[in-house]
Chain A
Amino acid sequence: MDKILRIDMGASGGPAIRTEALGDYAGLGGRGMTSAIVAKEVPPTCHPLGTENKLIIAPGLLSGSAAVQSGRISVGCKSPLTGGIKEANSGGQGAQVLARLGYAAIVLEGKPADDTLYKMHITKDGVTIEADNSLKMLGNYDLVDKMKAAYGDQIACISIGPAGEMKMASATVAFTDPEVRPTRHAGRGGVGAVMGAKGVKVIVLDDTGCKMRAPADPEKFKAANKEFTAGLKKHPVCGQGLPTYGTNVLTGVINEAGAYPTHNFATGRFEGFEKISGEALAELENSRGGEGAATHGCHRGCVMKCSGTFYDKNGNFLTKQPEYETVWAHGGNCGISDLDAIALLDRLDDDFGLDTIEMGATIGVAMEAGIAKFGDVEAAIRLVKEVGQGTPLGRILGAGAAVTGQAFGIEHVPVVKGQAMPAYDPRAVQGVAVTYATSPMGADHTAGYAVTANILGVGGTVDPLKPEGQVELSRNLQIATAAIDATGMCVFIAFAILDQPETFQALLDLISGFTGKPMTGDDVTALGKQILTWERDFNKAAGFNAAHDRLPGYFKREALAPHNVVFAVKDEELDQVFNW
Chain B
Amino acid sequence: MVASKQDTLTVELVVTEADLWRFFGLLRQGILVTTHLPSSLQQLLLVALKIPDAYVRERIQTVFLNGKAVDDIQGASVSDGDVVTLSAAMPGLVGATLRKGGQLTNLRSSLSHRSLSTETEAVAPGMVTVKLFNLVCAELGPPFLGRGVLLPGGHFKAFLADVWPELAPACIGARIGEKPVEAAVLPESVAPGAMVRLKVGTQTR
Contacts and interface: CB of A to CB of B under 8 A. Distances in A.
A250 B96 contact: no
A150 interface: no
A237 B98 contact: no
A25 interface: no
B91 interface: yes
A473 B62 contact: no
Contacts of B108: 257, 428-431
Interface stretch (B21-29, B40-48, B120-128): B21-29
A435 B94 CA distance: 12
B152 to A, nearest CB: 14
Contacts, number: 146
Contact of B110 (A252, A477, A498, A563): A563
Nearest to B27: A279
Interface in A219-277: 236-237, 240-242, 244-245, 247, 249-250, 252-254, 256-259, 274, 277
Contacts of A470: 106-107, 109
B129 to A, nearest CB: 11
B97 A250 contact: no
Interface stretch (B63-71, B174-182, B196-204): B63-71
B93 A428 contact: no
A470 B107 CA distance: 5
A243 B97 CA distance: 21
Contact of B87 (A253, A274, A462, A473): A253
Given A432-B97, A470-B109, A241 B91 contact: yes
A256 B94 CA distance: 13
B109 A495 contact: no
Given A252-B87, A278-B134, A236 B106 contact: no
Contact of B134 (A245, A306, A563): A245
Nearest to B108: A429
B110 A568 contact: yes
A430 B67 contact: no
Nearest to A254: B94
B77 interface: no
B28 A253 contact: no
Interface string B99-118: 00001111111110000000
B107 to A, nearest CB: 3
A103 interface: no
B2 interface: no
Main secondary structure of the interface of A (DSSP, over half): helix
B135 A244 contact: yes
A565 interface: yes
Given A236-B59, A429-B108, A242 B91 contact: yes
A335 B152 CA distance: 25
Nearest to A252: B133
B191 interface: no
A236 B93 contact: no
A495 B94 CA distance: 11
B89 interface: yes
Nearest to B64: A256
A199 to B, nearest CB: 37
B98 A257 contact: yes
Contacts of B138: 244
Interface in B51-91: 59, 61-62, 64, 67-69, 85, 87-91
A492 B91 contact: yes
B111 A257 contact: yes
B92 A452 contact: no
B157 interface: no
Nearest to A466: B106
A245 B137 CA distance: 12
Contact of A237 (B90, B94, B111): B90
Contacts of A274: 25, 28-29
A324 B92 contact: yes
Interface residues of B, number: 41
B107 A250 contact: no
Contacts of A252: 28, 87, 133-134
A287 to B, nearest CB: 9
Nearest to B90: A253
Residue with the highest number of chain A CB atoms closer than 10 Å, among B67, B68, B107, B131: B107
A352 interface: no
Contact of A253 (B68, B98, B103, B109): B98
B137 A241 contact: no
A381 interface: no
Contacts of B192: none
B87 A563 contact: no
B67 A495 contact: no
B193 interface: no
Interface string A302-327: 00001000000000000000001000
Contacts of A324: 92
Contacts of B106: 431, 462, 464-466, 469-470, 473
Nearest to A245: B134
B166 to A, nearest CB: 9
Contacts of A256: 64, 67, 85, 87, 131, 133
A277 B28 contact: yes
A501 B135 CA distance: 24
B165 interface: no
A449 interface: yes
B95 interface: yes
A249 B91 contact: yes
Given A247-B91, A249-B91, A279 B110 contact: no
Given A247-B92, A283-B21, 12 more contacts: A236-B135, A241-B90, A250-B94, A253-B85, A256-B87, A279-B134, A430-B108, A431-B107, A445-B92, A477-B93, A494-B96, A568-B110
14 contacts: A249-B90, A250-B94, A253-B95, A253-B134, A254-B94, A256-B131, A257-B67, A279-B134, A430-B107, A432-B93, A445-B94, A495-B89, A562-B67, A563-B67
